[in-house]
Structure 1
């Protein structure tokens, strides 16, 4: 298996299947294609296009099978490795986990645009607007509901680490990087994700990258738009 990703410091979508596969102990070869210097860099598009017709990362390549989009990759892994509990085994918990993952995939645009993933920076908290505050409130509420209903078996949303945690791992980094104030239970969940062996390995590699993007607000918003289009 090959997992095609982009810069670890910035590529939130790449992190999702990567951390899941590492936490689940699924062996794979990492293929890292650094973002190009422009919004639609043809060299980057051409390189990624070798692995996926969508021209996006992440993409999982398993023999003659190519799977792109994070949730599709996770579902493929669940079928390929049924013993790894990619999704919660309980039907009710699994339904909630899939719903939360889909909500993450489709939503929280204000938070994602205003606070791009950047593992190389730490910002003091400031109010980033009503829309961002609504997104954060919904995220925290969703995490609380999952933990209260299904989190008794461990520190993650559904006890053990699952695809739902992988989908929200970049959100965890955003709340941490931009110093959003959270309650103790939310902070405990965030710390559980940030201290997993998989995330610690990802962060260590991210901080060692030599590709640096100017971290002012304009550059960061442009970077997030670039990632979404890539």
Structure 2
């Protein structure tokens, strides 16, 4: 079974990153196809995948089209129970599903003020109260997962799960905007930044060019953490 995955620009498309990580991190076979999210060709690129109108899009070997990242996550978890996309422990699985769903549907303050961007770090960005409130809630969820179920590894539930997939772009936002979080949260962010799958994704992202640059801000830029040495 080889999945067909349709994604947008790697530099900015947080949802595409999630869709890709679901397949890449759990060793599921797939072929990736680029969609012109910022080039203006997305509607045409997805025309054969009704009802799709956004990325990511997953097409199964049977030809079924799955159009939402949460639907994709649940479809893959259902199709591949042996891969444990969610934790196997029932209590951990319930919490993982809960915090994943909250990420999927919430945190509008953070999303709107801090679009994902993987090129560099903005210097001097000051988060608004709505962003700070979202960060406090996210850190509470991360701490709860780590305290209850994450003692045996660097991820929220010890082993990598769909919860980490959905919070990966949050780690990128914290990095790109140099947002204020605890040392515990920074350690979790660092796990994402050093993850081989993410490094492969960002390597491809750095090959992209965008003119005009989406989401430009009137701030100086400094290097992405791994580029400082």
By the TM > 0.5 criterion, same fold? yes
Give runs of aligned pairs for residues 137-156 of structure 1, distance below 5 A. 137-156=136-155
- Which of 7, 14, 17 pairs up with 1:5? 7
- Corresponding residue for residue 56 of structure 2: 58
Give a deviation string over 1:14-47, Cα, whole Å, max 9, x none: 000211211111110001112244xxx4x32121
Does 2:191 correspond to 1:192? yes
Q: How many residues align?
A: 214
- Corresponding residue for residue 37 of structure 2: 35
Give runs of aligned pairs for residues 47-196 of structure 1, distance below 5 A. 47-63=45-61, 64-196=63-195
Give a deviation string over 1:141-186, Cα, whole Å, max 9, x none: 1111111111012100001110000001001100011001222211
**Structure 2 stretches lacking a partner, 5+ long:** 219-229
Q: CA deviation at 1:125?
A: 4.4
Q: CA deviation at 1:217?
A: 3.3
* Cα root mean square deviation, aligned: 1.5
Q: CA deviation at 1:119?
A: 0.4
Q: CA deviation at 1:216?
A: 2.1
Residues in 2 aligned to 1:36 and 1:144: alpha-carbon distance in whole angstroms: 36
TM-score, normalising length from structure 2?
A: 0.89
Aligned partners of 1:7 and 1:34 also within 8 Å: yes
Aligned partners of 1:150 and 1:158 also within 8 Å: yes
In structure 2, the CA distance between the partners of 1:125 and 1:143, relative to structure 1 (3 Å rule), is farther
Q: Secondary structure at the match of 2:200?
A: helix
- Which of 11, 15, 18 pairs up with 2:17? 15
Aligned partners of 1:125 and 1:180 also within 8 Å: no
Q: Secondary structure at the match of 1:30?
A: strand
Residues in 2 aligned to 1:166 and 1:134: alpha-carbon distance in whole angstroms: 22
Residues in 2 aligned to 1:182 and 1:55: alpha-carbon distance in whole angstroms: 35
In structure 2, the CA distance between the partners of 1:119 and 1:200, relative to structure 1 (3 Å rule), is same
Residues in 1 aligned to 2:22 and 2:96: alpha-carbon distance in whole angstroms: 14
Aligned partners of 2:135 and 2:181 also within 8 Å: no
**Structure 1 stretches lacking a partner, 5+ long:** 219-230
Q: Which protein has the bigger helix share?
A: 1
